[in-house]
A = this chain, B = another copy of it.
């Protein structure tokens, strides 16, 4: 296939590709900027993959598309991680160069990896190197880290074919209107953000891009900038509805795609009362965003469901090895062309089905209800937090013998992590533990509360029973 951005620039040169508050670029401009960036990047000849560390911006989009012209997989780093987490991920994903916005330059400079700012790259010589004009669908386009249940984060490989299939399957479900404009306030380093950037080029659809989520800015954009779709998580959805107050969104605003974990029923009821077209979806980094989405037609009738698997996707619910009956809860398994071929430097799953670790069931009509994300996953403001990762850090601290982390409900963030600890050092305080964590973990992963216990609940095989922590 021709390179998507070249093709789109040829088909819709003057169509707006990315609109921000103060400026915008057309597809032709995006192509030219990205190609130029690629030619400038050639000067740096990184020894390894390229990582991007940035808040949402056109520069970030240009850097991403620029890398596609060099067929270099882009490793997306979460801006909220700690320095040691970045270092770990760069090591694990063989990153040879980090591209970053000026904002993160200082922080990133202390890493043991080459770092350049977007600004700096844009001042380099434009080398006349050949750029890719065909996309090799099976090649890896992007990598994003996800922890899974095992603690240490792994890099999910997303191929061009994964992204393509995701965009096509989404359009077959949500439709594709000539006036569509998708607002992105999720970080582009999350699949929920990046997938829209890619859809934009495949669909020829403008993206309204915000640097980060801001309830007021999103509200204004929906009310005044002809936005028709937006992707949100429960926390941001809730804040938007609060900001909406007694107002109503315009009729042209057709879809608030709600992902990133099961949605609280009261939130959905509230959206319904405000005639806001909230559509629940289920997906993850490994499925390149949505794999099941509720159709607008069924949104009210099936409140709380994540809908049916997209046209090219298949899901099944299994209990041990048997397939579950309707209304019977089991683990959700996924299959389809949007499912990642595997984790970087990890053995490929031999099974063609992706084991999501999430729990759910189908009703009699085949609508999916997600009961719980990977049993012990904590979702805080749309960010996935894996207890095992925090426990690992805690257990490295002198004076801590046992550690268990679990979720606590939180009004603002949905959930926050709290820790239960068995210590053998009487002097150890919660403040010292939090400080220790802050040096090693992203802020949102630092336990909000720390409880000391004499022992932690464990099962017969001594496995920690996180659901019994209290």
Contact = CB atoms under 8 A, between A and B. Distances in A.
A175 B178 CA distance: 6
Interface in A7-54: 7-8, 10-12
B176 A175 contact: yes
Nearest to A204: B172
Nearest to A311: B7
A14 to B, nearest CB: 10
Copy number in the complex reads 2
Contacts of A8: 311
Interface in A230-248: none
A326 interface: no
A203 B174 CA distance: 10
Contact of A366 (B10, B168, B366): B10
B171 A172 contact: yes
> What is the predominant secondary structure among interface residues of chain A facing chain B?
mixed
A12 B204 CA distance: 27
Q: Which of A204, A311, A337 has the most CB of B within 10 A?
A: A311
Given A10-B308, A311-B11, A366-B10, A175 B177 contact: yes
Interface string A173-197: 0011110000000000000000000
A297 B12 CA distance: 10
A172 B10 contact: no
B312 A172 contact: no
Contacts of A177: 175, 177
A202 B10 contact: no
A82 interface: no
B7 A203 contact: no
Nearest to A337: B1
Contacts of A202: 172, 311
A7 to B, nearest CB: 6
Interface string A184-223: 0000000000000000001110000000000000000000
Interface in A284-319: 295-297, 308, 311-312, 314
A7 B311 CA distance: 7
A255 to B, nearest CB: 11
Interface in A315-349: 337
Contacts of A10: 308, 366
Contacts of A392: none
Contacts of A92: none
Contact of A171 (B176, B314, B366): B176
A351 to B, nearest CB: 16
7 contacts: A1-B312, A1-B337, A2-B314, A10-B308, A10-B366, A11-B295, A171-B176
A296 B175 contact: no
A47 B366 CA distance: 39
Contacts of A337: 1
A23 B45 CA distance: 66
A203 B366 contact: no
Contacts of A172: 171, 176, 202-204
A413 to B, nearest CB: 34
Given A171-B171, A314-B2, A11 B176 contact: no
Contacts of A312: 1
